[in-house]
Amino acid sequence: MGDELPKHSVGRAILVALFAAAIVSIVLLAFSWPTVTADPKDLPMAAVGDSAQVEQITSSAPEGMLDLERVNTRAEAEQMIREREVYGAFVLGGEDPEILVSSAASPAVAQQLRGLAAQMQQSIDSQAISGMQDGMEQMQEALEAAARAAENPQAPGQAPSVAGGGEGAGTLPDASAMDVPQVTVTDVVPLSDDDATGAGLAIAGLPLSIGGIVGGVLTSTLVHSRRMRAVAVVAYGAFGGIALSLILQTWFGILQGEFWLNALAAGLAVASTAAIINGFVSLMGPGGIAIGAVLTMFIGNPISSLTQPKEFLAGAWGDIGQFFVPGAAGTLLRDISYFPDAPMAMSWWVLVAWFVLGIALILIGHLRAHAKLVAAQAGKG
């Protein structure tokens, strides 16, 4: 006890300040690290074309950026986009090359693919200009040859090679045939007009995280019965899900698709976080609030891939983030809104698992408290 710093000492004040600075540094790292270390790599893409064309795409893109999968038809590539197996597709082999994008899946990837389309068009235009220049040179040489032939008439019965549709005439380039291919970009699954940039959908996960924490704090501190906390969490999920969907879908137009599915997903997201916080509080007391908040806000949220594709995160963190509430909720709301054909089972089960874990911890805390009470009463008897 004698080694403890007095509450009013300068040393204690400095230690508290250092501790606060360390906390704020950790918070900054948690939120900025995914953005600072983001690296477009191994983006799953489909390609319609032969091996040489696919190889040309791979070589023209930045090294390691694309993970191409060859498919047979444009329709197959489009279906893969709708099922969120790929972010886009290259359709080659026709008259004009086409790039399929999906701004609803990732505005960042769609923008990069549009940049690749511009590069492809520039390369095609350069080749066309080079071919036109070669053709003009050939035309000039042919005209000069015709002029020389006119100055030096040939023997009777022989016509100049460039006259009368002779063989030389076929070498003259036809200007009308210089049809330059145009690279087209098609947005297969576009964002809604109310959220054209995707910013609203990207930040929708933040109120879900904060809402879950706020609900967990309020229900754990204002409801004293552990069993009633479980009831409060379920009710909060129902009311919160409907309220959030009314705001995000009916009012702002950020969410699309089936309203009640969005309400269920949003409600399950906030209820899962609230349940986890209540579970830790039931076991550990008020200190459990910090554990639940850290799991959601400072671990789950930064690696949730709400603002960028999970492939952009270093290592396997993008996949790991999908097993936390923010990542699963963000992916689920995006799929419900824009990708009804995509598999959603994993996201649903992740949210259900966190919710069940939280309720289980609440019940365990209730049973432990009840056992202690029974033991205390038995001791008094």
Q: Where are the domains of the chain?
A: 43-187, 195-380
Summarize the confidence of residues 352-371 as an average pLDDT: 92
* Backbone phi and psi for residue 22, each to the nearest 5 degrees, phi listed first: -65, -40
- Strands 88-91, 98-101: parallel, antiparallel or unpaired by DSSP? antiparallel
Residue, of 238 and 124, whose pLDDT is higher: 238
d(CA 229, CA 222): 9
- Tell me the C-alpha to C-alpha distance, in Å, between residue 107 and each of 38, 39, 132, 145, 200: 15, 15, 37, 57, 12
Q: What is the crossing angle of helices 205-222 and 259-284, to 10°?
A: 40
- Strands 98-101, 184-187: parallel, antiparallel or unpaired by DSSP? parallel
What's the pTM? 0.82
Model pLDDT for residues 81-125, shown as the tens digit of each residue = 999 999 999 998 777 889 999 999 999 899 989 988 888 888 777
Model pLDDT for residues 312-340, shown as the tens digit of each residue = 888 889 999 999 999 999 999 999 999 99
